[in-house]
Amino acid sequence: MMTQPSAQGADASAVPRDKVGRPATWWQLPPVDNVPLKHHTDRYGSAVIEDAALNSSRTDPAAFARALSESMDAFRCAGIRAVWLRVATEACRLVPVAIDQGFLPHHAAPDHITFTAWLPKDKPSRLPPGPSHFIGVAGLVLDVHSSSSRGRVLVVQEKSGPAAGLNMWKLPGGLVDNKEDIAVAAEREVWEETGVRARFQRLMTIQENHHVRGPGREGSTDLFCVCLLMPTLSQDGHVPEPVAQEDEIAACQVREHILCTARLIRK
């Protein structure tokens, strides 16, 4: 059985909302009755213990183990299918407790580790996998006002990274930050690496790579988005002289390129 939330004293105008106008907590449902640990349920039939530290900051692992065991029994009786448990890094002493009670690691961040437990023993888990993709962007910045019949494109040489030391020119770019739009990321990366301001026009193509290497990205998929950007021109009508970022970029130029004709872009 689940209790009903109270709206007394709530200021509807102060409730955070998502992009489509829904309350940011629209997906949260009331908690299960008689559960020792603070939690809420969701629209997928799961219980979410958002922060184990809130339930255990003044208790030891043994006390938390008892409370978690009682909570899991109540969840099963209520027909809950899955339990999500977030353990803050300062409460890492609770990790063995979660493992002992059937929880598995799902994903981690600098301030927490999230665990999951699938409760039905006669059905396979329907829980989504942990984060598996990285999103990268590259800015294809074209100088369509160039007098060159070939057009010009902004390119860089890396000082650090996979292309460093290869004497290879590439588009400026990098990883999209958490909660950052692709268009904003492309503009930011171009500005950070070259000092050139450019405005996003459209997404040109996406390259998918399932063989990403390195300890921080091993086993993940990389989606590399090439974006068309138009530079903000200087007062004399030219692309400003690019300036290489000191830490990551060895050189940057606006160079002629046969594939980047102004005629093609204008069409």
pLDDT tens-digit map of 26-39: 778 889 998 999 99
Start-to-end CA span in the chain (Å): 63
pLDDT tens-digit map of 150-160: 678 999 999 98
User: What is residue 12's predicted lDDT score, i.e. its pLDDT?
Assistant: 52
| Between residues 38 and 25, the one the model is more confident about | 38
The rounded percent of the chain whose pLDDT value lies above 70 is 86
Q: 240: which DSSP letter?
A: P
Give the type of residue at 26.
Answer: W
Per DSSP, the three-state class of 184 is: helix
Alpha-carbon distance values, 18 to 15, 25, 40, 41, 185 (Å): 10, 9, 19, 19, 20
Question: Residue 142 forms beta bridges with which residues?
Answer: 153
Whether residue 145 is predicted with pLDDT greater than 80 in this model: the reply is no
How many Å apart are CA 147 and CA 140, to the nearest integer? 19
pLDDT tens-digit map of 188-243: 999 999 999 999 999 999 999 887 777 777 778 899 999 999 999 888 777 889 99
pTM of the full structure: 0.75
Structural contact between residues 104 and 71, judged by C-beta atoms closer than 8 angstroms: no
